[in-house]
A and B are shown apart, each in its own frame.
Chain A
Amino acid sequence: MSNTNTLKTKTNRMFKKFTALQWKSFFRSSNLGKSLGIKILMGFFGVYMLLSLAGMGTGMYFILKKILPNQSPMWSISQYLIYWVLIELFLRYFMQKLPVMDIKPFLTTPVKKSTIAHYILGRSAASIYNLLTFFFVVPFAIVLIFQGYQVLNVLLWVVAVMALVLCINYVNLLINKNEKVLIGLVSILLIGYGLDYFGIFSVKELFAPIFHALYAYPITVMIPIALAIGIYYINYQFLKDKIYLDASLKVKSVEANTTDLAWTKRFGEMGSFLQLDLKMIWRNKRTKSQVFISLLFVFYGLVFYTQDIYSSMVPMKAFVGVFMTGIFLSNFGQFIPAWDSSYYSMMMSQNIPMRKYLESKATLITVSVVVMFLLTIPYVYFGWDALAINFGCALYNLGVNIPVILYFGSFNKKRIELDQSPFGNMQGTSATQFLIMLPVLAVPIILFSIFYYLINLQAAVIVLSVLGLLGFAMKNYLLNLITEQYKRKKYGMIAGFKEKGS
């Protein structure tokens, strides 16, 4: 008896130590002070998210009642829980980091592997993603109770849902970023929804009674709890044997293929940088997903063009125009030259003409703006105005925003690790990034609004286009100025990019 007790206290002590270390790693990170502003901002954002979730939870009962007045909201929500499970798994695949790597330093310390495994798994249970559902479900449950639902049933239902969240959490760890599982998940999601949507087979009705049982028969709460414990145990078994450097902790390396991209040679001296940039974008997670995200933003305009509220708010369309054609410009451009931060000191001691380096970046962004504009051409469906606005905005982006964003890039001093996931990744972000958005987005919209309200749409579009063309005509001069600026800022950048762990 006393033996198990000492073991328990020992384990407890270990846990406390681990947790303390976690705190230290946060507060002692070298640029805590510098990026505290960003952390606070992220904090506000988080609180805002949680509050909106709580708001949604509170309102959900009434929304469901209104949309589906003939059935109990509890039944309605049970119908959709299967989709929630699948979608949450899908989102977590991208968002949630696997906490495995942090454990490397403990391998050689006299801590039992089982303790380490429990610690990793326990910590992931406290993940922020699990809290999100909690903030939604609890207000929803409170409303249910006020609406006369059985208190005990509702409370146990909350417990059951949270147990499901833990199941999802641990299943996600098991999936371990396996692409095949992701594809399977997406297929199931699409097929299920398709069957439902076209009325071929009702997936909703199949799962509704199963999930509704969690409310109707309180004793069934045991099932998700047992499931969660089961999956935890599988994870534990799996992890315990894998805490070795060469097993789960090893970062997988991809087989490299040497490519030539000989066509870049046509760009002369700039070609070798262009080639380097293309390889960088394609071979690193963060930049690669940046491209896909940018492409998806082509659909952003639909939000504005399909809704009647915006039909009278023409300046919003200018916003969409600048945004859609300039999404890659701002996403990629704002971090120039931090993309090259990990080898910036080499670049600066090499025989590199700064000007060519910047020109190559400008060319890349120019191509992106043109491509994005071509992709937005179908918006002509909403009228020629849409096309004209997007065209003006694209020209403005080309002529004015490219030099602007390159200029502001010279204020970047924060390192970016290229091979980390872009989701929720604030690396390299500083006050500069927020300042950049002001001239890039706000200025054209303000200009557009002024001329639109003073004269008309044509005038507003012409002003943006002319400014763009002017900027384009002065490109050489502007690039020279920017080159000088980069040379002046060189030492600060080199020093800043060397600091790791931002």
Chain B
Amino acid sequence: MITIENLTKKYGSQIVLHIEELSIPKGQSFGLVGNNGAGKTTLFSLLLDLIQPTSGHVINNEVQVNTSEAWKPFTSSFIDETFLIGYLTPEEYFYFIGDLRGQSKADVNALLAQFEDFFHGEILGQKKYLRDLSKGNQKKAGIVASFIGNPEVVVLDEPFANLDPTTQIRLKEIIKDLAAKDNVTVLISSHDLIHVTEVCERIVVLNKGEVVKDIQTSTETLKELEQFFAK
């Protein structure tokens, strides 16, 4: 589904990301871990064509992302709260995103109904604008918005951060289901090794902009990762 070829990003003389080759098959749940500054957000930003690659390219379902925009209809993402429109209520935001992705109000409502548990009564019908919600609730709204319109690729940056434990557990179920049942390619990054190993079939470790580990998740994976980061 996603192929990365010879991708580099430099700021001045500093190389922040350099990936020779990486491909993610359709329907895989893909986890990205690494310390601060390892290049996780840079990689996601390149994937979404929010920054320009210094060299190389990303191909998303046969579309080269920095030359064509044809990847946008089947790709959705939530990177941070700048993906939210603060002066809308959550409902209005969902409908707006739905509009952009060709979903009617009824479609969006049907999707939202599936996430009632996840919202825990704190998102819909609150008479609050998104800017007035707490960080955690903003995140919930953003994550669910990224599921609107049957995307084939979902990119979530640090989805577990700022969420309460109940929501974290529910989110893990949701992500697993997405990849397993709906054949959606899910890319997530996280600082929490336990969460990633539970959710992702495959884990890639970035360190100083380079891929240092590429693991198919097994029972040993958590230990392996912990050993790596303890160094």
Q: Do A and B bind each other?
A: yes
**Do residues A494 and B84 form an inter-chain contact, with CB atoms below 8 A?**
no
Interface size grouping (class) on chain B: 20 to 34
Cβ of B111 to closest chain A Cβ, rounded Å: 16
Within 8 A of B (CB), among A402-429: 418-419
**Do residues A418 and B127 form an inter-chain contact, with CB atoms below 8 A?**
no
- Give Cα A350–Cα B102 distance, bound, in whole angstroms: 12
**Do residues A255 and B79 form an inter-chain contact, with CB atoms below 8 A?**
no
* Residue in B52, B99, B126, B127 whose beta carbon sits within 8 Å of that of A272 in the complex: B99
- Give Cα A348–Cα B129 distance, bound, in whole angstroms: 22
**Do residues A343 and B83 form an inter-chain contact, with CB atoms below 8 A?**
yes
Within 8 A of A (CB), among B94-116: 96-97, 99-102
Chain A residue nearest to B88 (CB atoms) is: A279
B92 at interface (Cβ–Cβ under 8 A)?
yes
**Do residues B129 and A254 form an inter-chain contact, with CB atoms below 8 A?**
yes
Select the residue from A276, A342, A350, A491 with max chain B CB neighbours within 10 A.
Answer: A350
B77 at interface (Cβ–Cβ under 8 A)?
yes
Chain B residue nearest to A252 (CB atoms) is: B132
A284 at interface (Cβ–Cβ under 8 A)?
yes
**Do residues A253 and B100 form an inter-chain contact, with CB atoms below 8 A?**
no
Q: For chains A and B in complex, what number of residue pairs have CB atoms within 8 angstroms?
A: 87
The 8 A CB mask of B59-83 against A (1 = contact, 0 = none) is 0000000000000110111010011
**Do residues A272 and B49 form an inter-chain contact, with CB atoms below 8 A?**
no
Given the known interface contacts A280-B87, A343-B85, A495-B51, the answer about A351 and B72 at a Cβ–Cβ threshold of 8 Å is yes
A258 at interface (Cβ–Cβ under 8 A)?
yes
Given the known interface contacts A272-B100, A494-B51, the answer about A349 and B72 at a Cβ–Cβ threshold of 8 Å is yes
Cβ of B55 to closest chain A Cβ, rounded Å: 15
**Do residues B72 and A350 form an inter-chain contact, with CB atoms below 8 A?**
yes
Cβ of A455 to closest chain B Cβ, rounded Å: 49
* Residue in B48, B86, B101, B149 whose beta carbon sits within 8 Å of that of A342 in the complex: B86
B131 at interface (Cβ–Cβ under 8 A)?
yes
**Do residues A284 and B51 form an inter-chain contact, with CB atoms below 8 A?**
no
Within 8 A of B (CB), among A471-502: 491, 494-495, 498
**Do residues B87 and A283 form an inter-chain contact, with CB atoms below 8 A?**
yes
Cβ of B54 to closest chain A Cβ, rounded Å: 12
Chain A residues in 8 Å Cβ range of B88: 276, 279
**Do residues B91 and A279 form an inter-chain contact, with CB atoms below 8 A?**
no
B215 at interface (Cβ–Cβ under 8 A)?
no
B135 at interface (Cβ–Cβ under 8 A)?
no
The 8 A CB mask of A286-301 against B (1 = contact, 0 = none) is 0000000000000000
- Give Cα A202–Cα B73 distance, bound, in whole angstroms: 71
Cβ of A293 to closest chain B Cβ, rounded Å: 19
**Do residues B50 and A276 form an inter-chain contact, with CB atoms below 8 A?**
no
Select the residue from A253, A346, A419, A491 with max chain B CB neighbours within 10 A.
Answer: A346
A345 at interface (Cβ–Cβ under 8 A)?
yes
Cβ of B145 to closest chain A Cβ, rounded Å: 9
**Do residues A351 and B73 form an inter-chain contact, with CB atoms below 8 A?**
yes
**Do residues A349 and B50 form an inter-chain contact, with CB atoms below 8 A?**
yes
Within 8 A of B (CB), among A332-346: 342-346
**Do residues A276 and B82 form an inter-chain contact, with CB atoms below 8 A?**
no
- Give Cα A253–Cα B127 distance, bound, in whole angstroms: 10
- Give Cα A256–Cα B130 distance, bound, in whole angstroms: 10
A352 at interface (Cβ–Cβ under 8 A)?
yes
Given the known interface contacts A342-B82, A352-B100, the answer about A256 and B50 at a Cβ–Cβ threshold of 8 Å is no
Chain B residues in 8 Å Cβ range of A344: 82
B8 at interface (Cβ–Cβ under 8 A)?
no
Interface size grouping (class) on chain A: 20 to 34
B89 at interface (Cβ–Cβ under 8 A)?
yes
Chain B residues in 8 Å Cβ range of A279: 87-88, 92
- Give Cα A94–Cα B48 distance, bound, in whole angstroms: 42
B213 at interface (Cβ–Cβ under 8 A)?
no
Chain B residue nearest to A498 (CB atoms) is: B82
Cβ of A266 to closest chain B Cβ, rounded Å: 14
A312 at interface (Cβ–Cβ under 8 A)?
no
Given the known interface contacts A272-B99, A350-B100, A418-B86, the answer about A256 and B128 at a Cβ–Cβ threshold of 8 Å is yes
Chain B residues in 8 Å Cβ range of A255: 127-128
Cβ of A413 to closest chain B Cβ, rounded Å: 14
**Do residues A256 and B89 form an inter-chain contact, with CB atoms below 8 A?**
yes
Select the residue from B73, B76, B84, B86 with max chain A CB neighbours within 10 A.
Answer: B86
Given the known interface contacts A494-B51, A495-B51, the answer about A283 and B129 at a Cβ–Cβ threshold of 8 Å is yes
**Do residues B82 and A346 form an inter-chain contact, with CB atoms below 8 A?**
yes
- Give Cα A421–Cα B151 distance, bound, in whole angstroms: 39
Chain B residues in 8 Å Cβ range of A307: none
Within 8 A of B (CB), among A263-316: 272, 275-276, 279-280, 283-284
Cβ of A427 to closest chain B Cβ, rounded Å: 15
Select the residue from B48, B72, B87, B126 with max chain A CB neighbours within 10 A.
Answer: B87
- Give Cα A116–Cα B120 distance, bound, in whole angstroms: 40
A2 at interface (Cβ–Cβ under 8 A)?
no
- Give Cα A348–Cα B77 distance, bound, in whole angstroms: 11
- Give Cα A498–Cα B82 distance, bound, in whole angstroms: 8
**Do residues B101 and A351 form an inter-chain contact, with CB atoms below 8 A?**
yes
**Do residues B49 and A349 form an inter-chain contact, with CB atoms below 8 A?**
yes
Chain A residues in 8 Å Cβ range of B127: 255-258
- Give Cα A494–Cα B50 distance, bound, in whole angstroms: 7
Chain A residues in 8 Å Cβ range of B87: 279-280, 283-284, 418-419
Chain A residues in 8 Å Cβ range of B149: 351
* Residue in B82, B91, B102, B129 whose beta carbon sits within 8 Å of that of A253 in the complex: B129
Chain B residues in 8 Å Cβ range of A346: 82-85
- Give Cα A419–Cα B87 distance, bound, in whole angstroms: 9
The 8 A CB mask of A339-373 against B (1 = contact, 0 = none) is 00011111011111000000000000000000000
Binding site for B on A (CB under 8 A): 253-259, 272, 275-276, 279-280, 283-284, 342-346, 348-352, 418-419, 491, 494-495, 498
Q: List 29 A-B contacts (CB under 8 A).
A: A253-B129, A254-B129, A254-B132, A255-B127, A255-B128, A256-B126, A256-B128, A256-B129, A257-B127, A258-B89, A258-B91, A276-B88, A342-B85, A342-B86, A343-B85, A345-B79, A349-B48, A349-B49, A349-B50, A349-B83, A350-B72, A351-B72, A351-B102, A352-B100, A418-B87, A419-B86, A419-B87, A494-B50, A495-B51
Give the 3 A-B CB pairs with smallest separation, nearest first. Answer: A253-B132, A346-B83, A272-B99
Q: Contacts A258-B127, A283-B87, A352-B72 known; list 9 others, CB within 8 Å.
A: A253-B128, A272-B96, A272-B99, A279-B87, A343-B84, A344-B82, A346-B83, A349-B83, A352-B100
